[in-house]
Amino acid sequence: MSSDRELDFHYAVANTELIELPTSHLETFGNTLVNYILVCELMDEVGKTRIRTGRMQLLRPQIITPSDYSKMLLEGFGEEAQKYVEWLEEHEKDVHILRYGYTLKQEAFSEEIVTSPVEEVVERVKKDAAGHKDPFRAILKGVDSPWDVCLIKLFWTMVRRSAHKNIMELAEQQMFARKESLPPDIHKEVEKAFTAAEKDPALIKPLGALLQKHNVFKMYEDRFFSLLGH
């Protein structure tokens, strides 16, 4: 990672203010849609502000090992957002405690530029949003570039807020069978089969048979079914 790129996402993270967070926790056994409004001051035009309105979809948590965390998929996000996720994995000491991961999709968004100072726009957005009850709405003030890093900060904050509830509910369903307890040869065989199936959909069915053969399908079912959805 170059120092310039590191400064890019660090600058974005440091200058992202989470003004309003969703009041509901992330879903444990289903997908979560987060509606966001991101307000950013234009750096090259005085007194102008960009408003981005969109939504992120967080697919249901999958049980993963710490080494799998870097494989968390970001769909619709740029390079700086991915660099930030990699930085989180390296520096956030509690990432491995979560032992689950999300696939985060950046869905369609719209934007407009208004001629008003950023603080005035933020207050207007807050006032407009107050009349609409949405438990999954988020309002942020961030940077115009790389703006998607601001959304990763929102995502990470929500994951940490929801972690205890999600983990308790997953544990109640006995979904924390430890993959590390698998014999190394079986673990290696399964990972090799997943890699092959990700490249060739025709190998998904044999992968399922392999998981059934070793009686580990329950451990990997979220990951397996995610292949079917691609």
Range of the domain at 35: 3-172
DSSP 8-state code for residue 30 = S
Pair 129, 211 in one domain: no
Please state the rounded mean pLDDT for residues 153-182: 74
E strand or H helix that includes residue 83: helix 79-91
Q: Collapsing DSSP states into helix, strand and coil, what is residue 211?
A: helix
Amino acid sitting at position 12: A
- 159 with 223, same domain: the answer is no
Of 87 and 53, the structure prediction assigns the larger pLDDT to 53
Are both 99 and 120 inside the same structural domain? yes
Residue 84 sits in the same domain as residue 189: no
Q: What is the pLDDT of residues 93-139, one digit of tens each?
A: 555 434 456 678 888 789 999 999 999 999 999 999 988 889 999 99
Provide the 10 A C-beta neighbour count for residue 137: 18
Pick the last residue of a domain from 154, 172, 190: 172
Final residue in a domain of this structure, among 150, 172, 194? 172
Task: Please tell me whether residues 89 and 165 are part of one structural domain.
Answer: yes
Q: Are residues 101 and 155 in the same domain?
A: yes
Domain count, the chain: 2
Tell how strand 104-114 and strand 74-75 pair up: parallel
Residues 57 and 79 grouped into a single domain: yes
Residue 192 and residue 117 in one domain: no
Query: Are residues 146 and 32 located together in one domain of the fold?
Result: yes
For residues 197 and 223, the answer to whether their CB atoms sit within 8 Å is: no
Cross-strand pairs, 141: 17, 39
Confidence at residue 71, expressed as pLDDT on a 0 to 100 scale: 53
Task: pLDDT band for 178, please (50, 70, 90 cuts).
Answer: low
Q: Cβ distance 9 to 83 under 8 Å?
A: yes
Do 102 and 144 share a structural domain? yes
pLDDT bracket for residue 209 (50, 70, 90): very high
Indicate if 150 and 195 belong to the same structural domain.
Answer: no
Give the pLDDT score at 177.
56
Residues 161 and 196 in one domain: no
Residue 31's nearest CA partner among 85, 97, 102, 134 is 102
Could you tell me the pTM of the whole model?
0.69
The answer to whether the CB of 65 falls within 8 A of the CB of 100 is: no
Last residue of a domain, one of 127, 144, 172: 172
Cα–Cα dist 37/109, whole Å: 10
Per-residue pLDDT tens for 45-81? Answer: 889 999 999 999 888 776 655 455 455 557 788 888 8
Output 165 or 111, whichever has higher pLDDT: 111
User: Cα(133)–Cα(69) distance, rounded to whole angstroms?
Assistant: 34
